Amino acid sequence: MVYFIASIPLFFFILFLINYLRDPRKLINGLLFNSFLITFILFCIFFYIYIDGPYQYIVLVFPFFLLVVLIPFGVLALIAGLFYNAKVLRQKEGKRFRNSLTLIMAIGILTLIIINLVNPTQFFPEYLQPLFSGAGLVVFYVFLHMFNFLTAYGLNQWKRPKRNQDFIIVLGSGLINDRVPPLLASRIDKAIAFYNEQKKVVAPPKIIFSGGQGPDEGLPEAEAMQNYAVEKGIPIEDTIQENKSVNTYENMVFSKKIMDERNGEGAYRSIFATNNFHLFRAGMYARKAGLDSQGIGSKTAFYYWPNAMVREYIAVVVMGRRRHFMIVSCVMGFSLLLTLVAYFFT
């Protein structure tokens, strides 16, 4: 019995390793790793309850610390941190809606905790209970999906591409007054650093600057990025402009077309450079475009990171909107059906 229970977390860990080593850009990696973690905690609890011996109490330390200390205090620290981050971000970046996402998230989590403590179902007819249960399942699904996303994002950060690349794709992020702003400059600098490091051991890669011309821009973003890199010492013959794309997916698709034309379809190694908070979603777009490319991420100011991560998560949800809509619709539709049955037959 013990061996069977122990084999469950081992199974999830092996499955995670296989999927992660094949492709670290998948959301399922977060689900599999979290499944391993949860089943391991359950195994520790099982070991404590059913096994007598000198190690009985030692194995319970980890789940006890996680469930009793880390999670409750972690949630409180998260709420406080989100409120503080919202204050700092609005001071440094302005009072725009896009800079209020951490504030909205903090209010949302706090509201859910208060609702759970108050238990509003006691104020409504009993036949509405299925609707509240369905809403609770939807909230649980959202938090589970967010947890899996954060885990997959964190695991993806550990993947480091080798210095044997043929191409580096630098993803655009927009110009300011037709000049490369600091955010975009950090991406180019990251690509330049990788270029120089690889140049020490093998032939340097070609750098593809990917970004089209916006309606308020006097030149294509790719051209401004190329000029910036050349000024930093990159030979112009090692640079390529991709000046048609207007979003991350097109960055990948149009850059892939350039690489296929130069080296043959798939007959090359490539990576992309972006900000570290954007790495996971950009990797998902690269995979969608058919590119076997990992990312290198430039550092982001700490105060900016939480808000950027919320935006990234929302964007990932939008990418899978059809699947999420179907799941939420099925849960709430079934809950509504049970509510109608309870209303008419009880």
Residues 306-339 pLDDT 10s: 888 888 999 999 999 999 999 999 999 999 999 9
Q: What is the pLDDT of residue 215?
A: 83
DSSP 298: E
pLDDT at residue 168 in the model: 97
d(CA 306, CA 296): 19
* Contact criterion met (CB below 8 Å) for 325 and 138: no
Specify the pLDDT at position 53: 59
- Residue 124's pLDDT is 83
Res 267 pLDDT > 60: yes
Task: Give the pLDDT score at 16.
Answer: 95
155/3: higher pLDDT: 155
Position 232 confidence tier, pLDDT thresholds 50, 70, 90: very high
Running DSSP on this structure, what letter comes out for residue 172? P
| 123, burial (CB in 10 Å: exposed 0-12, middle 13-18, buried 19+) | exposed
Instruction: Tell me what pLDDT residue 63 has.
Output: 62
| pLDDT per position as a tens digit, 110-133 | 888 888 888 877 788 888 888 989
Higher confidence at residue 216 or residue 270? 270
What's residue 91's pLDDT? 80
Q: Is the pLDDT score of 254 beyond 80? A: yes
- pLDDT tens-digit readout, 152-207: 998 988 888 889 999 999 999 888 888 899 889 999 999 999 999 999 999 999 99
Q: Which whole-number Å values give the CA distances from 175 to 84, 190, 197, 217, 239, in the listed order?
A: 29, 18, 27, 7, 19
Is residue 2 classed exposed, middle or buried when 0-12, 13-18 and 19+ CB atoms within 10 A define those classes?
exposed
> Could you please report the per-residue DSSP string of 226-291?
HHHHHHTT--GGGEEEE----SHHHHHHHHHHHHHHHH-TT-S-EEEEEEGGGHHHHHHHHHHTT-
Give the model's pLDDT for residue 190: 95
Query: What is the rounded distance in angstroms from the CA atom of residue 241 to the CA atom of residue 226?
Result: 7
Q: What is the mean pLDDT of residues 23-33?
A: 92
Whole-angstrom Cα distance, residue 172 to residue 29? 27
Calculate mean pLDDT across residues 294-305.
87
Residue 98: pLDDT band with limits 50, 70, 90: confident
The residue behind tokens 């503080």 is 84
* Better pLDDT: 280 or 214: 280
Q: Is the pLDDT of residue 228 over 70?
A: yes
What's the mean per-residue pLDDT of the chain? 87
Tell me: pLDDT of 220 over 60: yes
Beta-bridge mates of residue 169: 208, 272
At 318 the pLDDT is 92
| Residue whose C-alpha is closest to residue 295's, from 320, 312, 277 | 277
Residue 230 has pLDDT above 80, yes or no: yes
Instruction: Give 132's contacts (C-beta < 8 A, 6+ positions apart).
Output: 120, 121, 124
Residue 146 has a pLDDT of 92
- Asked whether the beta carbons of 16 and 32 are under 8 A apart, the reply is yes
pLDDT digits (tens, 9 = 90+) for 38-97: 888 777 777 766 666 555 566 566 666 666 666 677 778 788 888 888 888 888 777 777
Angstrom CA distances, 238 to 23, 166, 286, 305, stand at 29, 11, 22, 32
Q: What is the pLDDT of residue 60?
A: 60
